[in-house]
Amino acid sequence: MKYYDVIILGAGAAGLSAAAAISPEKKVAIIDMGNTPARKIAISGGGRCNFTNDAVSYERYFGNNPKFVRGIIANIASKDILDWAKSKCIKWSEKTPGQYFCETSAKSIITPLIQDAKNADFFLNETVIKTEKTDGLFIIHTNKNTYSSKSMIVATGGISFPATGVSDVGYKIAKQFGHKIIPVRPALCAIATKTIPSELSGISINVEIKNGKSIIQDSLLFTHFGLGGPAIYRTTVRDLNDDIHINLLPNINVYDWLRNEKQTSGKKSIFSLLATKLPNRLAKWLAPFENKNLADYKDTELKTLSEKINNFIIHKNEFSLYNLQSAEVVRGGVSTDEISPKTMESKLCPGLFFAGEVVDIAGDLGGFNLHWAFASGRTAGMYA
């Protein structure tokens, strides 16, 4: 059996950050079932990895208790990550102000992350099967070896996007040590719905989406199975207990606009008017009677049409989340109730730490998830 002071399960953003933060006198191992570390970082941000965001604050995190992140992100801000990136000569660009992407490729961040973790022995292509704690030591069984350690950091990530190699072992380990698991579901993902016809596929427009208390303004993409794009991704990471209300022309009161046009330009068709503000295919779907003049519409009909544009509703039972295979993250995971928000250590089992997406914390689109993985990983490493 191989002995270590700290063993980290998972060599993703959280596990590598944890390894880098552990004091160099300690003997550290990091075990991952993949053949290379950080495979999710490699595909993040379309291969350019959106690694942090100046807008990091607990309001951009979701879970049963988003305020849990406050202490961790207060200690590790976007500036700290940028300072680190600068020290490693990583070049970045801002897609929108304060949203940081690697300038060329995610590789430019992965290489220094692995270098920083060089104090650790890496065991790749090894799958953690189960763990136990006996006589104050964690015993970790993989498909190849058995290890023991004083502290164990579970950084095995979420279970979305299985093409990168994922497992639910982190949830199983947490449960075994008495932790609650919040049911997991896809988040930062598209939705499937029959309310939208597939012939609109490929159209992208800026919209406003309301769901419960959340209001998102961002771009929406019509797909062959429903809706995607940033506006929908960001909606799905939030609590989803209500119907989805989409304003397809958020800056225009369509009813007032059409009634005014009816008075001044009654001979125009609704289609031709809508097509001045919306893509043709979408305008045609909203106003299929291309040749009917505006003057031929009753105000009540205009009201119904306007509602469809300013408040298009997809009812709760008319959509489903599409799907774990393509979701960027999961909602749910190891409950924050039994984890210290200061150290990321289990309140139930001394020496057991959690970091990254395995915890019931999911961030908004825009670099918030990697920020959380780096910050929680670093914290767990510092205290492990």
Ligand X SMILES: Cc1cc2nc3c(=O)[nH]c(=O)nc-3n(C[C@H](O)[C@H](O)[C@H](O)COP(=O)(O)OP(=O)(O)OC[C@H]3O[C@@H](n4cnc5c(N)ncnc54)[C@H](O)[C@@H]3O)c2cc1C
272 binds ligand X (CB under 6 A): no
153 binds ligand X (CB under 6 A): no
- Using CB under 6 A as the criterion, what x/- string covers residues 70-109 for binding ligand X? ----------------------------------------
Considering only 117, 369, 375, 378, the residue that binds ligand X (CB under 6 A) is: 369
- The residues in 16-55 that bind ligand X, with binding defined as CB under 6 A, are 31-34, 39-41, 43-45, 49-50
Bond before 323 cis per omega within 30 degrees? yes
Write down the least CB distance from residue 36 to ligand X, Å.
9
Cβ closest to ligand X, residue 106 vs residue 283:
106
Write down the least CB distance from residue 384 to ligand X, Å.
15
* Residues 358-374: b if buried by 16+ CB within 10 A, e if exposed: bbbbbbbbbbbbbbbbb
228 binds ligand X (CB under 6 A): no
Write down the least CB distance from residue 44 to ligand X, Å.
3
Compute the Cα dihedral for 53, 370, 46, 202 and give only its sign: negative
Write down the least CB distance from residue 336 to ligand X, Å.
14
H/E stretch holding 149: strand 146-154
Cβ closest to ligand X, residue 226 vs residue 356:
356
367 binds ligand X (CB under 6 A): yes
H/E stretch holding 132: strand 128-134
Place of tokens 């961790």: 72
Radius of gyration of the chain (CA): 24
Write down the least CB distance from residue 333 to ligand X, Å.
10
- The residues in 334-363 that bind ligand X, with binding defined as CB under 6 A, are 356-357
Percent of residues in the chain assigned helix, strand, coil, to nearest 5: 35, 30, 35
Cβ neighbour number for residue 109 with a 10 Å cutoff? 27
8 Å CB contact between 237 and 192 = no
- The residues in 110-149 that bind ligand X, with binding defined as CB under 6 A, are 127-128
User: What is the Cα–Cα distance from 170 to 190, expressed in whole angstroms?
Assistant: 26
**Residue 177 to residues 60, 180, 191, 350: CA-CA distances in angstroms?**
29, 9, 35, 10
Q: What angle do CA 194, 198, 204 make, to 5 degrees?
A: 110
Write down the least CB distance from residue 215 to ligand X, Å.
22
Considering only 69, 329, 339, 344, the residue that binds ligand X (CB under 6 A) is: 329
Cβ neighbour number for residue 98 with a 10 Å cutoff? 14
Write down the least CB distance from residue 16 to ligand X, Å.
8
- The residues in 160-199 that bind ligand X, with binding defined as CB under 6 A, are 161, 165-167, 169
Structure tokens at 127: 């799958």
333 binds ligand X (CB under 6 A): no
Binding site for ligand X (CB under 6 A): 9-15, 31-34, 39-41, 43-45, 49-50, 127-128, 155-157, 161, 165-167, 169, 328-329, 356-357, 367-370, 373
